[in-house]
Amino acid sequence: MSDFFATIKYYIENPSELPKKEGWGSDSDHGKQGNKDISNTYQPGVEPVGEAKEPSPTKEELLDEEEKPEVEEDGYDKLMSTLAQQYGLEVKEVQSRLANIALTYGISLESFDYKDTIIFTANGRTIHYDIRNMKEVIS
């Protein structure tokens, strides 16, 4: 490691001794004035000739794009919609209540069995839970 730093120190003190390779080091054109490739630059405010520009979409086309059907729901979203209808709640409310139950009992949402009540096993016992009233159902 000390050799590495000694080499760096030497080249800092003696920049003329730096190794040269075509296109690298002091032979590089990077940062030098007068050697810029300006073949692909254009004057400000002037459109380049020969490049076709796509026309802007009309208001009608934009409205048609907005009315297109959304991406299909994934399995989780479909399940939440079904459960919201089944329990007579909003989707966000179902998600919130399920998360609350899962956190309370320290279980995964995947362990739920969705019937009239939600059935799951926590700490070795099977629990029936009424999501509408947020209470355990004694069976």
Query: Which whole number is the average pLDDT over 54-76?
Result: 69
Q: Which residue has the tokens 């409310």?
A: 93
Q: Give the closest residue to 122 by CA, choosing from 111, 130, 113.
A: 111
Least confident range from 21-25, 56-60, 72-76, 85-89: namely 21-25
For the chain, what's the residue count? 139
Encoding tokens for residue 56? 């802007």
Q: Which of 54-68, 79-93, 102-116 has the lowest mean pLDDT?
A: 54-68
pLDDT in tens, 125-135: 999 999 989 99
Contact 126, 118 (CB under 8 A): no
Please name the residue that has the structure tokens 């998360």: 99
pLDDT tens for 108-130 read: 988 898 888 899 998 889 999 99
The residue ranges of every structural domain in the chain are 75-137
Residues 46 and 117: their CA atoms lie apart, in Å, by 69
The rounded distance, in Å, linking the Cα atoms of 119 and 57 is 53
Distance separating alpha carbons of residues 95 and 1, to the nearest angstrom: 58
Q: For 23-50, how does the pLDDT look when each residue is reduced to its tens digit (9 = 90+)?
A: 666 666 666 666 555 566 666 777 666 6
Rounded-to-integer distance, Cα 35 and Cα 72, Å? 54
Distance of alpha carbon 134 from its chain centroid, rounded?
34
pLDDT at 53: 61
